[in-house]
Structure 1
Amino acid sequence: MSKKYNSVMSEEFKFFAADYPDSPGVYLMKNGRGRIIYVGKAKRLRRRLASYFQKNTGHTPKTKALVAQVRSVDILLTGTEKEALLLESGLIKKHRPRYNVVLKDDKQYVLFKLDKRSEFPRLSMTRKVVRDGSVYFGPFTSSAAARTTLKLLGKVFPLRKCSDGAFRNRVRPCLYYDIHQCFAPCVRDVDSNMYMDQVHRVEMLLSGKSGELVGSLEKKMAQASAEMRFEQAAEYRDQIRAVKKTVEGQVAVIHDRRDRDVVGLAETDAGLGLGLLFIRQGRLLDQKHFFWPGLTLDEGPEVLESFLVQFYGAGRFIPPLIIAPHDVDNEVLAEVLADRRTDSVRVVVPHSTQEKKLLDIARSVARQAKEKKDTITARLQKVLRLVEEPLRIECIDASHLGGTDMRVGQVVFDAGRRDKAASRLYAFPELEGAADDYAALAAWTVRRVESGPPWPDLVLIDGGRGQISAVEKALSECVEPVDWELASIAKGPSRRAGELEDLIFRPGRKNPMPLKPGSAELLFLQMVRDTAHRFVIGRQRRARKKAVLNSELTSLPGIGPKTARTLWDCFESLDAMVEAGRGDIESLPGIGKKKAAQIHAALQGLKKARSS
């Protein structure tokens, strides 16, 4: 369990070693505005913090700039160094401090997932690794390229495409069966041995054994041709072409067939670049680079350790071997990575000549990394006259349906890209019938402050001066006032969303901000506003539709609210419930034979009523 110590905020921070314990934990350095500007961890907090504030310590320029801005330090005590490392990683991701190594592009990359637990496995795309017995292949930094490959494989290896829920409830073959891209094991009697032979071929291809697969297919094609089974020979021919097209962009870079990632660092005039190679079964599958301005190779060990913890997070594919440019003498880091992978992970420097060549390639990739100076967030900081670059933008839109069902939708854009997982819908039953957008925005402000960080760098409000004033007033009345940058976007004179003359307002200004019509900054803010509007309207309609369907369901004999919830949890739609068999309903938790028969009869009656 963590314990928190708070230092007193002052104009100039003075460090006293006796104020801090000499135990494991995490420290949070804050500037004069109370913002966290650096998060670090230490096995011995007192000694680590003392190293920052001792004179003549030979700090790097980055550390000197950091120390000059520190006005307070909070610490969180942990039981072990491992807990401190995990807590540090979570806090960096949450607060994105200015002086930390933060992965702005930390999205999960695309993987291929082969669910081998199923009687008829399915190949699909995913961005998250789940320890459920499935086999994963990748990663691919380009989702478009991954979709193209999946589409190509789907044409010549006719495995099922539908989800498990659709597979269980389907009553007739889908379109993929009609175009000969699926065996339709959902409704047809398919030979499992023949199906698993196709699965084995796909697995060989994605595992890097394309040479063996092509050789095997060529033999089968020749045999089928000799036996005058020309249609089957043509299928083998098409599979051979698909295999060759899939692997033609992959280069063999090492003789063994081990999975490994290679990390290289390179210093440029503008900062520090990091190159990452994804090598699977000895072939270079993909590559990626990252960049941090102002850093040097002197910070390389710190950058490397922070990168490994953040990049190889939970749910990401982690190879058993990571080649690094420096020795990572940190048993705790290896233990954390092994826990996330549920198997051992080795982080080592290159030993063989081939591994050293791979590291050189990773360094070449790192040298190509450059800072994106003309980002949309940097341009917004300039035109809106913000104190800091608005990396995290939260856009809110208040909506109601004729005075009822008052909602405030919140969407989040991180570094210019939407973070769908961070979207929220706030309901305010206490405002039912009020149709008061100002009250809803004020209530949202209170609840958003209560939810805590990560704080937005900019809150964009769908509305004009009145809406922005409502949020500003609510912020000032909070028990602990929060310093947020605010802006609102109002529809132009025509009152139509998306018009070029939409106006942007900021607190303390009577006139709108001077954004040029059609400028990239205004178009981006309009896109963010429209995204929030679609989100809240879509959620409202979905909730109302589900309420209507739920009312229709609970009106049937034998189906109360509890049974309805069980049905919704197991079936994707009311149509799927209607098409379900009695055995499917009987298998649901808490439903026996007698009740299943009653529910099935009621659903069949609903089906007849709908069709009549």
Structure 2
Amino acid sequence: MADPATYRPAPGEIPDSPGVYRFRDGDGRVIYVGKAKSLRQRLNSYFQDVAGLHPRTQTMVTTAASVQWTVVGTEVEALALEYSWIKEFDPRFNVKYRDDKSYPYLAVTLADEFPRVQVMRGAKRKGTRYFGPYAHAWAIRETVDLLLRVFPVRTCSAGVFKRAHQQGRPCLLGYIDKCSAPCVGRISPEDHHRLAQDFCDFMAGDTTRFEKRLTRRMQEAAAELDYERAARLRDDIQTLRRATERNAVVLPDGTEADVFGLAGDDLEAAVQVFHVRDGRIRGQRGWVVEKVEDVDDAGLVEHLLQQVYGTDEADGTAVPREVLVPVLPTDVDQVESWLTGLRGSRVRVRVPQRGDKRELAATVHRNAEHALNLHRTRRAGDLTSRSQALREIQEALGLDTAPLRIECYDVSHNQGTYQSASMVVFEDGLARKSEYRLFSVRGRHGEGAADDTEAMHEVITRRFRRYLAERSESGDVELGDADAEDGERLVSGPIDETTGRPRRFAYPPNLVVVDGGPPQVAAAARALEELGIDDVALCGLAKRLEEVWVPGDDYPVILQRSSEGLYLLQRVRDEAHRFAITAHRKRRSKGMTVSVLDDVPGLGPARQKALLRHFGSVKRLRAASVEEIASVPGMGERTAAAVVAALAPDDTAAPTEALAPSAGMLGT
């Protein structure tokens, strides 16, 4: 625990300007990010008498070892920079927003040559238009199935699209007129893109325009006595109306707003938002918030708006004209200016006072209360059980403090081949997947380790040599090229001077867990001893009897089967095993495939992909001339000639030799 006075800036150093500040711990990790109208006033408030601070603020300032700040021009800039740094550094003392479930979105990949309509979850991708979120994926599929009659946009995967293109025949949807079949050239890329844009416009609420257009065409067809086409257009109009009626009208037509509800206590809160477009509820989403910092409802709403709209800065299409909140954010003018900049037109943030909007806000609030009660029921005792698990591990292993950061290692191979090792990280009893790492085991002679103990020794050595290198302020720890992973830059200091982000192995664990018994534990202990590391605890978890082995002990530590500590160690071990075996299978599948193009000099994985994408198969590539191959982007005449020479038929090559993807062509 650090004394804040040891790193308090000198009087006069802190500017009296808007800006964003970062507190870092002793390992250089950013643990808190905040913004302020006046950096001097805000930072000075942290360095008053510690006893007068909020308990969570006390913990933060005593955990920190330094503070840095960045001056910006306006408070709106500070708001945007604060959100950017929170997303980048994921500070442990900032408010945590966790989706109460994984919500599906209706996504249109407008950045593709032939846009695709599909259901998507997870992080949003650039160049993709999203609608929702929806409560259920089946609701999206039902809506899309209805609309494909009017907007026959591509919905197939890349594999199905490519196969149909090669065969010259569309899939079933193309035959029943629910796809315009761009795979076989029935529609040009430009027309298909316009069709996808019309689909997006309809989903965004511009429904009247399409209904009027279809009605006009139906009337024209009837006037020309083309009653069959008029009947089809009539059915299309009814389809659009059914798709529109699926969403209940809750506000007057044309209303575009997001309505937020908040319910919680001093430790956590539940947030719900209803997305209303054209007066109808188009989607719903919820979060559960862990209040790891001292924040009131106004501050929570401000952070919430950053969370919801910050990821849509690329186009601002998700920002509505009106944002209805239960409490106005602390700096409502700056928030409105920020949202207005994202949308490109005026955005109002206000608390509904009367009428339909207030009734809808009350409904959203009831949904938030229900979500909080459900969360408490599902996770009752979860925080307590995690704390109990860490405490039990501390007591069983005789540690000075609870192991807040646990790293676990496992080795996976197939009879000694394709050896891979995993490092998984749990912080505060929860998996931190951004910190996971993979190792390709090389062995003493570059041909793999002789056994699991040698592999474990190598992995522990490589991980902690990198830690020592990245922690060395003077740069006196140097590693040879043979010790470096591809793409790793081993330089001194825990923070990368270029990006300002922590290096890949900058933080030491409190506890290292290896998957195995005494042999594996002894190998890991020997690696730590050789590196001179004596402040990291070590243990092993044997699978058969779930025994915990400590270096140098003849007998294992036995934890009760119902122990929360044993349960946490099992989860850590199982996660390391899953991660290792996944990496091993990828290496094995890559190593067991051989391409006839692998031996062509100057032809790497990227060029191989380009050739296959252009020609479709090796058979067509073999029939191509040097000029045709050289016309592929990225190819030159010399490389094209080498490809032709490599694919030229000879006495040993099979006449119908197929191409298997090379190791570099498979996804990682």
TM-score tier after normalising by the smaller chain length: 0.7 to 0.9
User: What CA deviation, in whole Å up to 9, does each residue of 1:263-318 have, x standing for no partner?
Assistant: 33334587543332222333222323334467999712222223333443436874
Match of 1:511 among 551, 554, 557: 557
- Worse overlay, 184-193 or 364-373: 184-193
Answer yes or no: is the 8 Å Cα contact 1:259–1:319 preserved in 2. no
**Is 1:382 the equivalent of 2:385?**
no
Match of 1:361 among 360, 363, 368: 363
Query: Equivalent residue of 2:311, what SS?
Result: coil
One-letter code of the match for 2:298? P
Match of 1:50 among 44, 48, 51: 44
Partner of 1:66: 57
Residue 442 of structure 1: CA displacement? 0.8
Residue 78 of structure 1: CA displacement? 1.7
Query: Equivalent residue of 1:561, what SS?
Result: coil
Residue 514 of structure 1: CA displacement? 2.2
Residue 368 of structure 1: CA displacement? 2.5
Report matched runs for 1:90-169 at 5 Å.
92-93=86-87, 97=91, 99-105=93-99, 110-116=104-110, 120-126=114-120, 127=122, 129=124, 132=127, 135-140=129-134, 142-143=136-137, 145-146=139-140, 149-150=143-144, 153=147, 157-162=151-156, 167=161
One-letter code of the match for 1:278? H
User: Take 2:643 and 2:586, find their aligned partners in 1: how far apart are those partners?
Assistant: 29
Answer yes or no: is the 8 Å Cα contact 1:250–1:284 preserved in 2. yes
One-letter code of the match for 1:306? H
**1:159/1:96 Cα in 2 relative to 1: closer, same or farther (>3 Å)?**
closer
User: Take 2:614 and 2:131, find their aligned partners in 1: how far apart are those partners?
Assistant: 32
Answer yes or no: is the 8 Å Cα contact 2:50–2:58 preserved in 1. no
Answer yes or no: is the 8 Å Cα contact 2:119–2:137 preserved in 1. no
Q: TM-score if structure 2 supplies the norm length?
A: 0.68
Partner of 1:398: 411
Query: Equivalent residue of 2:557, what SS?
Result: coil
- Worse overlay, 401-410 or 590-599: 590-599
Partner of 1:176: 172
**Is 1:208 the equivalent of 2:205?**
yes
User: Take 1:85 and 1:99, find their aligned partners in 2: how far apart are those partners?
Assistant: 18
User: Take 2:458 and 2:289, find their aligned partners in 1: how far apart are those partners?
Assistant: 40
User: What CA deviation, in whole Å up to 9, does each residue of 1:457-491 have, x standing for no partner?
Assistant: 9766433354456556656776888768x765433
Residue 214 of structure 1: CA displacement? 6.1
Query: Equivalent residue of 1:171, what SS?
Result: helix
**1:297/1:416 Cα in 2 relative to 1: closer, same or farther (>3 Å)?**
closer
Partner of 1:438: 456
User: Take 1:532 and 1:93, find their aligned partners in 2: how far apart are those partners?
Assistant: 25
User: Take 1:458 and 1:144, find their aligned partners in 2: how far apart are those partners?
Assistant: 44
Query: Equivalent residue of 2:10, what SS?
Result: helix
User: Take 2:301 and 2:234, find their aligned partners in 1: how far apart are those partners?
Assistant: 46
**Is 1:462 the equivalent of 2:503?**
no
Residue 536 of structure 1: CA displacement? 1.8
**1:427/1:313 Cα in 2 relative to 1: closer, same or farther (>3 Å)?**
farther
User: Take 2:581 and 2:272, find their aligned partners in 1: how far apart are those partners?
Assistant: 38
**1:538/1:421 Cα in 2 relative to 1: closer, same or farther (>3 Å)?**
farther
Answer yes or no: is the 8 Å Cα contact 1:391–1:416 preserved in 2. yes
- Worse overlay, 592-601 or 280-289: 592-601
Match of 1:78 among 70, 74, 81: 70
Query: Equivalent residue of 1:21, what SS?
Result: coil
User: Take 2:426 and 2:619, find their aligned partners in 1: how far apart are those partners?
Assistant: 40
User: Take 1:174 and 1:391, find their aligned partners in 2: how far apart are those partners?
Assistant: 55
Residue 101 of structure 1: CA displacement? 1.0
- Worse overlay, 470-479 or 266-275: 470-479
Residue 576 of structure 1: CA displacement? 4.6
Report matched runs for 1:246-261 at 5 Å.
246-247=243-244, 249-257=246-254, 259-261=256-258
User: What CA deviation, in whole Å up to 9, does each residue of 1:176-214 have, x standing for no partner?
Assistant: 357634343222444789867864663354223456656
User: Take 1:457 and 1:240, find their aligned partners in 2: how far apart are those partners?
Assistant: 64
Answer yes or no: is the 8 Å Cα contact 2:517–2:540 preserved in 1. yes
**1:122/1:376 Cα in 2 relative to 1: closer, same or farther (>3 Å)?**
same
Query: Equivalent residue of 2:298, what SS?
Result: helix
**1:295/1:166 Cα in 2 relative to 1: closer, same or farther (>3 Å)?**
closer
Partner of 1:426: 439
Residue 168 of structure 1: CA displacement? 6.7
Aligned residue-pair number? 582
User: Take 2:293 and 2:422, find their aligned partners in 1: how far apart are those partners?
Assistant: 42
One-letter code of the match for 2:309? Y
User: Take 2:441 and 2:630, find their aligned partners in 1: how far apart are those partners?
Assistant: 39
User: Take 2:455 and 2:616, find their aligned partners in 1: how far apart are those partners?
Assistant: 37
* Structure 1: 5+ residue stretches without partners: 1-8, 493-500
**1:541/1:152 Cα in 2 relative to 1: closer, same or farther (>3 Å)?**
farther
**1:20/1:175 Cα in 2 relative to 1: closer, same or farther (>3 Å)?**
farther
User: Take 2:614 and 2:407, find their aligned partners in 1: how far apart are those partners?
Assistant: 32
**Is 1:566 the equivalent of 2:607?**
yes
**1:184/1:511 Cα in 2 relative to 1: closer, same or farther (>3 Å)?**
same
User: Take 1:392 and 1:208, find their aligned partners in 2: how far apart are those partners?
Assistant: 48
Q: CA RMSD in A?
A: 5.2
Match of 2:597 among 553, 561, 565: 553
Partner of 1:348: 349
Partner of 2:478: none
Query: Equivalent residue of 1:554, what SS?
Result: coil
Match of 2:584 among 537, 551, 559: 537
One-letter code of the match for 1:425? L
Partner of 1:407: 420
* Structure 2: 5+ residue stretches without partners: 395-400, 471-503, 660-668
Partner of 2:34: 40
**Is 1:490 the equivalent of 2:542?**
yes
Partner of 2:296: 299
**1:319/1:441 Cα in 2 relative to 1: closer, same or farther (>3 Å)?**
same
User: Take 2:570 and 2:138, find their aligned partners in 1: how far apart are those partners?
Assistant: 25
Query: Equivalent residue of 1:275, what SS?
Result: strand
Match of 2:272 among 244, 255, 275: 275
Answer yes or no: is the 8 Å Cα contact 2:114–2:154 preserved in 1. yes
**Is 1:319 the equivalent of 2:314?**
no
One-letter code of the match for 2:55? K
User: Take 1:455 and 1:334, find their aligned partners in 2: how far apart are those partners?
Assistant: 42
User: Take 1:369 and 1:272, find their aligned partners in 2: how far apart are those partners?
Assistant: 9
User: Take 2:280 and 2:598, find their aligned partners in 1: how far apart are those partners?
Assistant: 56
- Identity value in percent: 26
**Is 1:22 the equivalent of 2:14?**
yes
Answer yes or no: is the 8 Å Cα contact 1:273–1:366 preserved in 2. yes
Query: Equivalent residue of 2:184, what SS?
Result: coil
Report matched runs for 1:581-600 at 5 Å.
585-591=629-635, 599=643
Answer yes or no: is the 8 Å Cα contact 1:93–1:102 preserved in 2. no
**1:125/1:483 Cα in 2 relative to 1: closer, same or farther (>3 Å)?**
farther
User: What CA deviation, in whole Å up to 9, does each residue of 1:222-241 have, x standing for no partner?
Assistant: 9989968669946964x567
Residue 553 of structure 1: CA displacement? 0.7
- Worse overlay, 429-438 or 221-230: 221-230
One-letter code of the match for 1:300? D
**1:212/1:183 Cα in 2 relative to 1: closer, same or farther (>3 Å)?**
closer
User: What CA deviation, in whole Å up to 9, does each residue of 1:513-564 have, x standing for no partner?
Assistant: 3235999868855752452243122221243146x32xx3133xxx423455
User: Take 1:480 and 1:19, find their aligned partners in 2: how far apart are those partners?
Assistant: 39
Residue 18 of structure 1: CA displacement? 2.9
User: Take 2:589 and 2:558, find their aligned partners in 1: how far apart are those partners?
Assistant: 35
One-letter code of the match for 1:439? H
User: What CA deviation, in whole Å up to 9, does each residue of 1:109-133 have, x standing for no partner?
Assistant: 544333457675432344555554x
